[in-house]
Structure 1
């Protein structure tokens, strides 16, 4: 019996939180959530292969699910939260997220646990206090069609950074920027720059000059995106950068996705579709103090 099952059984014989298995997929698909064309349902088999997905059962009926994803072996992100329509506001979501948070911190390599939710998602934002998580950052994701933005300032040209210099270049400029988050993946910002693996860096096209730089990553998230990660604010307004970004995006008919702090994102508001996210989290050091 794994740790999650033990935690679940402590709730009583009629209530159980446990890891979901492939044979539970029909239960997940049958659980009414009120979400039409839910991507979680469409890719549930894949999620079970790549992440930990747990379910909350009441009298053998599935009433909620949640997931845990670990990045770079050190950052644990909670999500995939879905609750049965008849069991909302009954603490199901908080119980699921708390169970996963406990399990995550039992791994000594994990230094941060958290999640991101839209600023308008009242339920998602209300869970954070129950998990003793603090607001780490507010992030605006802008989706932009190619050639909509041309930039404002003339900067020195950007050169491609070689594989062996990528990590040091990213660390240098990100530290200097003082950003409160790192856009690790689309939908997965982290409140700090993690130790980037070679596997991650191989997917990154990195360009830099003597004042800053930017990263380009191709991502498939229901649509084809070019994820632009700007290493400092000066680069954000560069005509040279936007010329390169637009060329890359148009080549494969990709929508540009860029994550920015609220103040920086205001410049893009008239030209993009924006979503504001609240990133909540708990560092291991603080978690241990409260244990």
Structure 2
């Protein structure tokens, strides 16, 4: 039986469609053209010229590589193919000298995927819920929204203090948190992200738009006192309403929360909480 792994091209789409993955309305098929163009790459594992497993690499901030989009033909399950293609992609990512970290996300309940992460040498960093809502009224108190931060150096100081120096994970995009380094925070993006400070300058907040399946206001708040900070949710809610008016489409607030933070939410909260995601990774 012949065996090969190679980069997929635009004309390989039909091969992917012919796979029996059991995934209905697969987004990888819908956006195949985009996923096969730089900085994204899709790889295919072939047995006897049959495409039997697929995986992808996406590059963020020039030095972070995320592995994912694993699909395996159900007729070839339990042959270790997911591990094979994931290990191959990890090695391929590190061939680029600019890449300093390689990682992948798995849902907590996906035990086979978690075993693959361990097998290829990726270690657990953190576990986060992608908490979604359209209504934060149960968390608002009528307080004044926080003051915007416009000074670039002030933004950098907050990021250095709360993420970079302690080595914390930063929610860079919806679904994509990374271990924080200076390289993750480009000036061009910091100018676009909206930063806020509370009245006594003891807390800060970032809000920024994102789009995956839906539109999101991604709210980043690096403390666990979510229900105690007056004005926090008024600030988030105001930015959410403005974004929802602009998109005119299905739009949510997205906040990355630990299990401990989820437990601090009021019993009548309106967040959608699906299975949390576990971030795995390895540095060069």
Shorter-chain TM range is 0.7 to 0.9
What are the superposed Cα offsets for residues 86-110 of structure 1, whole Å, 9 maximum, x if unpaired? 1122111111110111111222222
Report how far residue 214 of structure 1 moved: 0.8
Report how far residue 229 of structure 1 moved: 0.5
1:182 match: secondary structure? strand
1:49 match: secondary structure? coil
Report how far residue 151 of structure 1 moved: 4.3
Is 1:131 matched with 2:120?
A: yes
Report how far residue 163 of structure 1 moved: 5.2
Quote the Cα distance in structure 2 between the aligned partners of 1:273 and 1:84: 31
Shift in alpha-carbon separation, 1:241–1:74, aligned structure 2, 3 A: same
Equivalent residues of 1:70, 1:76 under 8 A apart: yes
Quote the Cα distance in structure 2 between the aligned partners of 1:149 and 1:228: 17
Structure number with the higher helix fraction is 1
Quote the Cα distance in structure 2 between the aligned partners of 1:78 and 1:279: 11
* 2:37 pairs with one of 43, 46, 49: 49
What are the superposed Cα offsets for residues 240-277 of structure 1, whole Å, 9 maximum, x if unpaired? 11011112212333311000222112223743111311
Gaps of 5+ in 2: 245-250
Shift in alpha-carbon separation, 1:279–1:194, aligned structure 2, 3 A: farther
1:264 match: secondary structure? helix
Q: Match of 1:144? A: 133
The normalised TM-score by structure 2 is: 0.87
Shift in alpha-carbon separation, 1:282–1:179, aligned structure 2, 3 A: closer
Q: Match of 1:115? A: 104
For 1:63-102, what aligned pairs fall within 5 Å after superposition?
63-102=52-91
1:271 match: secondary structure? coil
User: Which range moved further: 228-237 or 45-54?
Assistant: 228-237
The normalised TM-score by structure 1 is: 0.85
Q: Match of 2:27? A: 39
1:248 match: secondary structure? helix
Report how far residue 78 of structure 1 moved: 0.4
Is 1:220 matched with 2:219?
A: no
Q: Match of 2:247? A: none
Report how far residue 200 of structure 1 moved: 2.6
Equivalent residues of 1:65, 1:83 under 8 A apart: yes
What are the superposed Cα offsets for residues 222-246 of structure 1, whole Å, 9 maximum, x if unpaired? 1111110113334664231101111
Q: Match of 1:202? A: 191
Report how far residue 175 of structure 1 moved: 4.9
Equivalent residues of 1:186, 1:227 under 8 A apart: yes
Q: Match of 2:273? A: 274
Shift in alpha-carbon separation, 1:236–1:97, aligned structure 2, 3 A: farther
* 2:47 pairs with one of 47, 58, 62: 58
Quote the Cα distance in structure 2 between the aligned partners of 1:159 and 1:41: 43
Equivalent residues of 1:213, 1:235 under 8 A apart: no
Shift in alpha-carbon separation, 1:20–1:280, aligned structure 2, 3 A: same
